[in-house]
Structures are given as C-alpha cells and as structure tokens.
Amino acid sequence: MITGIINTNVDVSDRYITRQGQVTFFSYTNVENIEAKNNQVLSVIDFSKNEIAISMLMKAFVFKKALMREHFNESYIESDLYPKATLEGIILDFDPANREDQTKIVKGKITIRGITKEVEIKTKITFQEQKYIFSGDFELTVKDFEIKIPSVLAPNIAKNISVQFKFEYEPYEL
Amino acid sequence: MSLMNCNMYFLFVALVCGLSSVNAQSLLDELDKVQSDAHPYELATFKSSRISLGHSTETLKKGVLEIGSRSRFWNIPNSDIQSFVADKMSTRLSLEYGISNRLTFGVGGTTLDGIFDMFLKYKMVRQRKHGFPFSITLLQSGSYQSERTSLADIHRSDDFADRLAFTTQLLLSKKVTSQFSLQFSPTLVHRNSSVFEEDPENHFALGMGGRYKVGGHVSIVSEYYHLFNPLESRDTYNAFSLGVNWELSDVMLQFQLTNTRNLVEDAFITQTPNNFNFNDGNLVFGFTGIFILHLHNGLKK
C-alpha cells in the first residue's frame, strides 16, 4: 500500500520544476571573449508525456563587462520587444522511473527574438536527492535569429555561440 | 459522514477540473504565470553619460574608466586664416570613473580658456518597468578657469576663488518607449565672481534633451538649455544641439551640430556668445569619442 502510494506519487506528481536553472553562453573570438550567465531560468517537465518547457528573461543575463547587458538587451536581442527566450519540446525515449545516469535527446523548438528554430539537444540526465538534473551544451548560430551585428564589431562576436545549461528539477508543489 | 464524503467528492471534482484545465494549456503558458521579473529596471535610458552637450541620468558602471575626448570646431567669420578643417577648436580631455554603479567621479581639462573641472554624479532613483516612472540623478560640478577668455573675461580677478564656478543639476529622465527617452534638467549655475555688478551670480536654467533610437546602435539626440536669467553685460544665447550618437561596444562616438563652443556646463549654459544657425562662425561642429576601460571584471550583479 505504502509503496503503492509512493509509486503513484512518482507517477502522478508528473511535474518537476526549477526556478533557478542556469544557462550560460560564450562567444569566443580572437578579439574578445564574451560570457553571460542567467541563473533564474524557469523550466517545467511533465513526465507523463515527457514534455519540457523552458522560459528565460533575456534581461536576467549578467555579463563580465559592464555595458554589455545594455548592449545585449538594447542593440542585439531587443528585449523590450522580445523579453523571453523559450524552448518547448519532448525528451525522446525517456523513462522517468529509470534513475541511472543517461544521455537523451531533447527535441523541440527554441524561440529567440520571436524566431523559432527546431533543435535537438543532447542532454545528460542524472537523478540525485529527489532531483532530476539535466545538463549539457549546444551551439546556436547568431544568423539564425537575425541578430544584426555592425560590420565593425563582426570580429568581436562569434558566428556560433556555445550554450551551457544545468537544470535541477524538483517535484512541482502546487 | 455522508456530507463529508460529498464534500470530498466535490473537492475531487474541482481538483480534476482544475488539473485538466491546466493540462489544456501548454507548459509554457504555465511558466508565464510563475515568471517573476528578474530585472525590473529600465535599461539604457541613454547609452552614454552625456545626452549630447550635458549630462544624462546615466552613470558609469562600477569599475569602469571612461577616457573621453570631446571637441568643438568652428570658423572665424571673414577671417583670412587658411586653417585646416576649422579655424578654431576646443577639446575637453577627461577621465571619469564609476566608483559604484550609482556614483561617478570625473575630471577634465578644456583647451579653450583653460578650464579644469571635476564632478560627482549620483544616481538616486532608477526608473522601473512597473513602478517608479523616472530616473533621478544628481550632479555637482565645479570648474576653474585658468586663462583669461578670448572674449571679455567674466570673472573679477585672477584670484583662484574668483575664477570658480559651480553647477548643480537635478536630472530627471524617462524612457518613454523602447526607442524614445526624454530628460529634464533643472540647473543652477553659481559663479564666484563677476566683473559687472549687473550680472547675476546665480543662473537658473532648464535643460531639455531627448534620444530617439533609430537603429540597433544609432540614435538621434537633441538638447536645449533655456537660461532664465542670462548675463546682462553681454548678449548670450541658449545652448542647442542636434546630434547623432553611435553606440558601439566599448567605444561611443557622438557627432553634434551646435552653437556651443565650450564643454563645461557653467560655460556653455551661461556664456554661449552666438545663436544656432548655419552662418560661418555660429555653426559649431562637435565630435566626441569615448573609450571604456574595464578595471573591475567578473560577472556583474
């Protein structure tokens, strides 16, 4: 009976959430290295359908160099018009009951500046202390999201931006 | 008992309905409800510490050293001088430093009239997206005019104290839309001495400035200072400027068409000798180059 309840808890409380997901992006060029971190990323997973959603505010990215936040939000991302970046997708072939370390593909749609791209992101999934931990990295192409870079600054900003992420999901308490 | 069961049943139905209505929306919609605004302040009301002529409400970020060169070029009408580009120029070279995100300290020297100035600028209130609708910054600057002016000198003697002037400004700005920002700058200029008794020692002025962002990195700016009690001993005109700011990463370039020749507040607000028009000698071309050095690296809060 008790195990039954616990089991149903695992199955029924299908939703896991994080409010402090971490997303870091890097742009490495010969001229300049740019790094920015957002550790207030929201994400929720519905394990009944293995659906995942991520939402982050662009303004919450902090940079190493002062003024970068202003430039990033005002001149590149236009966060007044597009305040969020989002991802909606599904975790392929994932069984939440299997708590071993594993690597799965998250397939979904990523939206930045109102432009949506299909992505497949290799994700490492571990289970520790009642938390599902999703981590990994992938690359995004600046051009895909129609981010305008003035030609004088073209050498300062990488064509491909590498993105690292780490989310620790806890059971969603309503 | 049966009543309680009934209650439980209703509770269950309500829960199921509630859950199914949640399920009907996408997970993203659900996240929207929990999202809290991480940075409720308006960013980049102005990108630079100056709108065009005068200070904006923006302060430098902590640990940032701004190296600035601000120049004005103009011609002397009907002159026989065969000079390159312009007959006259004036440049203010400056170092300005962000002590904290709110407090900036700056020093500068201007070639015209040998004016040395320093200022402290403190950002008191930041405009919020949903909340306080303005940014308020306080500026206090002082300047020392080390040379006799090219025009008639306005200071009484060569004593150090007689050649000082102080400017106090309450800068109020509002980012109206993501493109458009507006600023009002009530200003008090105090000059320690005057040659002529009829000249006021305290001048009151109201500055008005605006920025309109036309592209990712380019904005058009304009600024005007209305002086309520100008000098009596000579004709002066209100300072006006129309300019383009080019905002790159660590470099900012500003171009101005203006009637002001000096670059320090007290001088250009109270002592601009010519009106703004396209006549030779009146039209002043301004160029500002700012380079930012980061002395305090690390992820910013």
Look at A59 and B63 and tell me if their CB atoms are within 8 Å. no
The chain B residue lying nearest A76, using CA atoms, is B216
Task: Provide the percentage of residues in chain A whose pLDDT is more than 90.
Answer: 66
- Residue B87 has a pLDDT of 84
Q: Is B187 helix (H, G, I), strand (E, B) or coil?
A: strand
Between strands A131-141 and B239-247, the pairing is unpaired
Q: B216 vs A75: CB contact, 8 Å cut-off? A: yes
d(CA B90, CA B93): 10
d(CA A125, CA A131): 10
pLDDT of residue A13: 65
Q: Strand A115-128 and strand A102-112: pairing?
A: antiparallel
pLDDT tens readout for residues B64-94: 999 999 999 998 887 777 777 788 889 999 9
Using a CB-CB distance cutoff of 8 angstroms, which residues of chain B are in contact with residue A70? 43-44, 47
B252-271 mean pLDDT: 93
- In this complex, do B292 and A75 lie within 8 Å of one another by their Cβ atoms? no
List chain B domain ranges: 2-34, 64-294
Q: Compare CB distances from A150 to B27, B38, B217 and report the shortest one's residue.
A: B217
Q: E strand or H helix at A10, and its extent?
A: helix A2-12
Phi and psi torsions of A144, nearest 5° = -60, -30
Structure pTM?
0.81
pLDDT digits (tens, 9 = 90+) for A6-63: 444 444 468 899 999 999 999 999 988 899 999 999 999 999 999 999 999 999 999 9
Whether A86 and B39 lie within 8 Å, measured CB to CB: no
User: What pLDDT is stored for residue A114 in this prediction?
Assistant: 92
Please tell me the predicted confidence (pLDDT) of residue B150: 61
**Cβ-Cβ contacts under 8 Å, B216 against chain A:** 74-76, 78, 148, 150
With beta carbons under 8 A apart, name residues in chain B contacting A73.
43-44
**Predicted local confidence at residue B21, as pLDDT:** 42
Q: Is B247 on the interface with A (CB under 8 A)?
A: yes
| Maximum Cα–Cα distance across chain B | 109
Distance CA B273, CA B154 (A): 12
The CATH class of B64-294 is mainly beta
Q: Which two tokens stand for residue A110?
A: 């990523």
Element counts in chain A: helices (H) and strands (E): 2, 9
B26 to chain A, any CB pair closer than 8 A? The answer is yes
Integer Cα distance of A98 and B132 in angstroms: 50
- The domains of chain A are located at 16-171
The pLDDT score that the predictor gives to residue A10 is 40
The mean pLDDT value for B22-41 works out to 73
Chain A: residue whose CA lies nearest to B246? A150
**Residue closest to B113 by CA, chosen among B225, B266, B254:** B266
Q: Is B1 on the interface with A (CB under 8 A)?
A: no
Q: How would DSSP label each residue in B233-301?
A: SS----EEEEEEEEE-SSEEEEEEEES----SHHHHHH---S-SSSSTTT-EEEEEEEEEEESS-S---
**CATH of segment(s) A16-171:** 2.40.128.110
Is residue A169 over pLDDT 60? Answer: yes
For B198-229, what is each residue's pLDDT tens digit?
Answer: 999 999 999 999 999 998 889 999 999 999 99
Q: What is the pLDDT of residues A70-117, one digit of tens each?
A: 899 988 999 888 999 999 999 999 988 888 999 999 999 999 999 999
User: Which residue in A82, A76, A144 sits closest to A109, CA to CA?
Assistant: A144
Express each pLDDT in B159-206 by its tens digit.
899 999 999 999 999 999 989 999 999 999 999 998 888 999 999 999
**C-beta atoms of A62 and B298 within 8 A:** no
B301/A150 Cβ within 8 A: no
